[in-house]
């Protein structure tokens, strides 16, 4: 057994084949989609067609898989398109066809809604006349969403996933801002699958004599924002994911180029609230 193991420190070896898994959340229009496609060679799994204009403005060279359009044209179900996309990402087809280095999921909030719709449709298809949402359905949704997020974590690409933000106020009038998912504990659980979690926001800044609206990403700060940072990124960053990945690679002494090996294409193709969150605007 001792011949299998080779004990070395990361100082000796560096971090090879480092793949970043990022979760960006924020309000509608905050700049999540715009920021996500600044990642290296992105291929976007787009669940909301409204994001097309943001992609066009930020990175028109990005590949886009428009889930709802493909489902409608092929008379298939949206979640079937999603699962086919992840099979292509895992078996090497996506890399071979596009040369992508980053998978962008826009958005996880909508993917969870699509899973919920799938569960209801399956109940209707089983002959149920009066379909209601039950506790068992919540358990099914949680299991399917957890499997989906694990699959996202495991794809051999950099990953940038987006989500809407939601806020909650406790009995002491403290306002907590987290990614928007159904299930009280789910935002913290999902955050645990990602290397970094950032809150995307807009703020007005002075440029000479004028005030301009700028997008920023909050990566660490007070406990009222669910965030997670990674060295050497600053608490507040410019919305340039490609630059983040480059700096993280230089800091770790490893390779973040996204050129890791993938399988050859086949014929068929946590933490609790209050810990590690972010600075306020």
pLDDT single digits (tens) 257-266:
655 444 444 4
pLDDT at residue 204 in the model: 86
Q: Please, are residues 151 and 85 in contact by the beta-carbon 8 Å criterion?
A: no
pLDDT single digits (tens) 35-90:
999 999 999 999 988 889 999 999 999 999 999 999 999 888 999 999 999 999 99
**Could you tell me which residues are beta bridge partners of residue 166?**
178
pLDDT at residue 266 in the model: 44
Q: Is the pLDDT of residue 250 over 50?
A: yes
pLDDT at residue 82 in the model: 96
User: Cα-flanking dihedrals φ and ψ of residue 159, to 5°?
Assistant: -130, 135
pLDDT at residue 255 in the model: 62
Q: Supply the DSSP symbol for 77.
A: -
pLDDT single digits (tens) 170-226:
888 889 999 999 888 899 999 999 999 999 999 888 878 888 889 999 999 788 999
pLDDT at residue 211 in the model: 84
Q: At what angle do helices 135-154 and 78-91 cross, to 10 degrees?
A: 30
Q: Please, are residues 55 and 33 in contact by the beta-carbon 8 Å criterion?
A: yes
DSSP 91-140: HTHHHHHH--SEEEEE-HHHHHHHHHHHHHHHHHHTT-SS----HHHHHH
pLDDT at residue 181 in the model: 94
pLDDT band at 256 (very low <50, low <70, confident <90, very high): low
pLDDT single digits (tens) 114-161:
999 999 988 887 666 678 888 899 999 999 999 999 999 999 999 999
pLDDT at residue 193 in the model: 95
Cα distance between residue 95 and residue 99, in whole Å: 5
- Domains, the chain, ordered by start: 10-277 (3.40.50)
* Mean of pLDDT values over 16-35: 91
pLDDT at residue 133 in the model: 87
Of the two residues 268 and 105, the one the predictor is more confident about is 105
Q: Which residues of 234-246 are buried (b: 16+ CB within 10 A; e: fewer)?
A: eebbebebbebbe
What is the number of alpha carbons within 13 Å of residue 212 lying toward its C-beta? Answer: 8
């Amino acid at each position: 057994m001792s011949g299998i193991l080779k004990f070395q420190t990361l100082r000796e070896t560096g971090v090879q084949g480092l793949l970043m898994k990022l979760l960006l959340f924020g309000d509608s229009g905050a700049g999540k989609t715009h920021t996500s496609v600044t990642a290296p060679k992105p291929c976007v799994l787009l669940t909301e067609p409204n994001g097309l204009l943001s992609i066009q403005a930020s990175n028109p060279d990005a590949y886009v898989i428009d889930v709802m359009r493909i489902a409608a044209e092929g008379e298939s179900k949206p979640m079937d398109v999603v699962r086919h996309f992840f099979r292509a990402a895992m078996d090497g087809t996506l890399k071979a066809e596009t040369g992508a280095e980053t998978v962008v999921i826009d958005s996880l909030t909508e993917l969870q809604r699509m899973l919920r719709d799938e569960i209801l449709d399956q109940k209707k298809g089983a002959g149920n006349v009066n379909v209601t949402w039950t506790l068992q359905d919540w358990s099914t949704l949680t299991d399917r969403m957890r499997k989906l997020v694990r699959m996202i974590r495991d794809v051999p690409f950099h990953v940038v996933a987006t989500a809407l933000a939601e806020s909650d106020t406790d009995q002491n009038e403290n306002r907590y801002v987290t990614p928007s998912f159904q299930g009280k504990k789910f935002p913290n659980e999902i955050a645990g699958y990602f290397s970094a979690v950032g809150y995307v926001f807009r703020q007005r800044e002075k440029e000479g004599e004028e005030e301009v609206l700028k997008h920023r990403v909050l990566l660490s700060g007070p406990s009222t924002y669910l965030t997670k940072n990674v060295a050497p990124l600053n608490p507040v960053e410019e919305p340039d994911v490609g630059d983040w990945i480059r700096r993280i690679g230089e800091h770790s002494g490893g390779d973040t180029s996204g050129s890791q090996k993938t399988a050859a294409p086949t014929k068929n193709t946590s933490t609790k609230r209050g810990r590690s969150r972010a600075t306020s605007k």
